[in-house]
Structure 1
Amino acid sequence: MVRRDGAEGPDGLAPRSRAPKTRPGTIAPAVRERIIALRRELQAAGAEAGPVTIAWHLEQEGHPAPSTATIRRILHAAGLINPAPQKRPRSSYIRFQADLPNECWQADITHWFLQAGIRVEILDFLDDHARYLLELRPVTAFTGPMVVTVMTELITRYVPPYSTLTDNGLVFTTRLARFKGARGGFEKLLAAHRITQKNGRPGHPQTQGKIERFHQTLKRWLKARPLPDTIEDLQTLLTEFQTWYNTARPYRSLGRRTPEQAYTAHPKATPTSTADTTEWRSRTDTVDKNGKVTLRYAGKLRHLGIGRSHVGTPVLLLIHDRDITVSSMNTGQIIAEFTIDPDKNYQPKKA
């Protein structure tokens, strides 16, 4: 102070700024502007635009990415974040994640609309470990056999997973159906490949939380684009989305890797079940006027030809997977035997 007083007089005693002369951690104006621009571009495209995603894009462009906390402060200062105090903190969630790719595939059906207002269903399959989007397919309405076809294609393309996780829709399971016993086509396909089937608790969509959260991302992306005219146009959009989702969208929980990077980083889990997966059940019926009874097998109604000589006879059907034994409930006599051909609706009895 004495030196300052001698050199500058009374003015040298005035308080001076204590700010550091250099700020090595200051964000360059160009990077700050790019962060704001990325936020707006990603939101306009219907994509995720949080700090983690913005940091990933900065790195891909060759910019030094600041911490996510710094990016959040920049976005707040620019008025680009709407406070949401009602949201639960991330630390309050209990997270579950498969240890390996193909350890669990989640599947569900959501919907979207065409330009004419027609409602279309979308079937999606998502790998639980990597969030890798395995399939997106739209049709007017999905049936059990359609879901079986898609699952068969995925098994061929990626090899069978260790398990699946779905809700209790009839295209996935018959366990809550009105009439118990018969397995659906999806269940039979999983049993044939020794794939463990898991279903969420009714009325508890949090069990399938990853795919439910995925639907938010999908629909936000679709809302940023005009409604398609046809299902084929929608499929084109979904294919574009699938590529973007798998290759250009990093995840915080995956160490800022994309789903494709996470899916290909580890060996794949495979079925290990050795339990007996054959089906045992029984049902009663009455031979109709055409000499037939009906049986639901693999999600389809099959017609079993008993013979006109047994019209009106009450019968008991004993089902052991594909083998069916039919006996008269009046006499206990076996009157017909069948081996179901899954490719046919009408089943002639064995000679």
Structure 2
Amino acid sequence: MSKINQDHDGTLGRNNIKYMLHLVHEYELTKKKKHATYRFVTDFYNFHKLKRQNFIKYYNRFKLTNGDPNSLLPAKRGPRYNKSEIAHLIENKVIELRSKGYNRSETFVILKDQFKEFAPLQSTIYNIYRKNNMNKLRPLQIEERKKIIKEKAGELAHIDCHYLPKGIIENDSKRYFLVACMDDATRITWAVVSPNVQAIHVMFASLKILNTLNYRYQIAFQTLMSDNGGEFGSGKLAKNKESHPFELMLQQLGIKHIYTRPYRPQTNGKIERFWKTINEELLEEMVFDSVQHLEDELQKYLLYYNEIRPHSSLDGKTPKDFSDTCERIKQPIV
């Protein structure tokens, strides 16, 4: 959908609201199979040359505001900020990250997540390095940076559950979830859709993921880290380790289970970052035709994420390429 411009007296805004209300009316008739022209919503989108995800964004906002017409217009920009103060703050952050051994690609990813549209370009980050005589890392900084990443594939897995927004499946009000597991060393990640986060469902989803990582990428895990949620066994002090489905599965597979510190999600930061990435690149403002459609698109995205998409934290390699030369902590089951 194109950007809507408004004039001083609001005429264009009012006209655009009328047009959007007309689209909403036609869309709802089509969904109810009562429209005289359109049999399917795809016919409606094609006729009006609309992108589904863009229209649904406005439509959902319209419904959430109980039909407020102004919700059909683009949101106004927030206040302007003092650019010099932001620039000074960002420069200090670049220096701080560089002193920890991060390169400009990694710094860019971190600042993009933190500062959004204010994040500097990689060329700007490099200029800050040069200005502060930091364009070359000292040997101690390089060694410190290497310690952050596990060296062997399978040494540590990060696992987590992620809530998907209601309405992500068209004509389906149920809430769905993703379960994902990431190898710390290679960043190879796999995820599946789950109907809920009950322990038995999470156990079966996790087993499916671990099998996929084993057979497709030859990664078998020594240790697995989760949060303290009930689906994962409720933490190291829980008394149900001999009966909990997830704990029993790990015991059978010979995988040690460790937990994040309570109320400290950053302990499992790598998988938390994956959720942000997949939201930005696949899920945000999307509506899927069915659960099967979501699962198909998820699998395509995971192949892209693991085997095509370069990762700055891996010096520009894909996780698959990095994995191919990475030593294993355990031999995979063939």
Q: If the length of structure 2 is used for normalisation, what is the TM-score?
A: 0.50
Give the AA of the match of 2:201.
M
Q: Identify if the C-alpha distance between structure 1 residues 265 and 178 changes in structure 2 by more than 3 Å, giving closer, same or farther.
A: closer
Following the alignment from structure 1 to structure 2, what is the Cα–Cα distance between the partners of residues 180 and 138?
26
What whole-Å deviation, never above 9, does each CA across 1:85-117 have from its counterpart, x for those lacking one? 8xxx9x9x9873211111111111102232334
What's 2:163 paired with?
Answer: 111
Distance 1:223 1:238 in 2: 9
Residue ranges of structure 1 left out of the alignment (5+ in a row)? 1-43, 45-66, 73-80, 272-351
Instruction: Find the partner of 1:198 among 234, 246, 258.
Output: 258
Contact 1:111 1:122 in 2 (8 A): yes
In structure 2, relative to structure 1, the CA distance for the partners of 1:234 and 1:155 (3 Å cut) is: closer
Q: Which runs of 5+ in 2 are unaligned?
A: 1-53, 55-102, 109-115, 126-133, 135-143
Give yes or no for the alignment of 1:153 onto 2:208: yes
Report the CA distance shift for 1:260/1:210 in structure 2 as closer, same or farther (over 3 A). same
- Computing the radius of gyration over CA atoms, which structure comes out larger, 1 or 2? 1
Deviation at residue 266 of structure 1 after TM alignment: 1.7
Q: How many residue pairs end up in the alignment?
A: 192
Q: Which has the higher helix share?
A: 2
Q: As a proportion of its length, which structure holds more strand?
A: 1
How far does the alpha carbon of each residue in 1:50-100 deviate from its partner, in whole angstroms, 9 at most, with x for none? xxxxxxxxxxxxxxxxx979xx9xxxxxxxx83248xxx9x9x98732111
SS in 2 for 1:119: coil
- Aligned partner (choices 230, 238, 241) of residue 170 of structure 1: 230
Equivalent in the alignment of 2:9? none
Q: Residue type matched to 1:216 in 2?
A: K
Aligned equivalent of 1:268: 328
Q: Does 1:130 align with 2:165?
A: no
In 2, the alpha carbon distance for the partners of 1:102 and 1:181 equals 23
The answer on whether the counterparts of 1:173 and 1:183 sit within 8 Å (CA) in structure 2 is: no
Q: Structure 1 residue aligned with 2:153, among 79, 101, 107?
A: 101
Asked whether the 8 Å contact 2:169–2:287 carries over to 1, the reply is yes
Going from structure 1 to structure 2, the CA distance change for 1:181 and 1:242 (only over 3 Å counts) comes to: closer
Distance 2:284 2:253 in 1: 40
Please tell me the root mean square deviation across aligned C-alpha atoms, in Å.
3.5
For residue 82 of structure 1, what is the aligned residue in structure 2? Answer: 117
Structure 1 length normalisation: TM-score?
0.48
Match of 2:290 in 1: 230
Question: Which residue number corresponds to residue 121 of structure 1?
Answer: 177
Kindly provide the amino acid, as one letter, of the partner of residue 162 in structure 1: Q
User: What SS is found at the alignment partner of 1:152?
Assistant: helix
Q: Which residue of 2 aligns with 1:218?
A: 278
Alpha-carbon shift at residue 149 of structure 1 (Å) = 2.2
Question: Is contact 2:265–2:272 with CA below 8 Å preserved after alignment?
Answer: yes
> Which of 1 and 2 has higher RCO (CA within 8 Å, sep 6+)?
2
Q: Distance in 1 between matches of 2:308 and 2:241?
A: 45
Query: Residues 56-67 of structure 1 correspond to what in structure 2 (within 5 A)?
Result: none
Deviations 1:171-200 (A, max 9, x none): 212337886665412112222232111110
Percentage of identical aligned residues: 22
Look up the equivalent residue of 2:117 and give its one-letter code. N
Structure 1 residues 190 and 257: CA distance shift in structure 2, 3 A: same
CA contact 1:170–1:177 (8 Å) conserved in 2: no
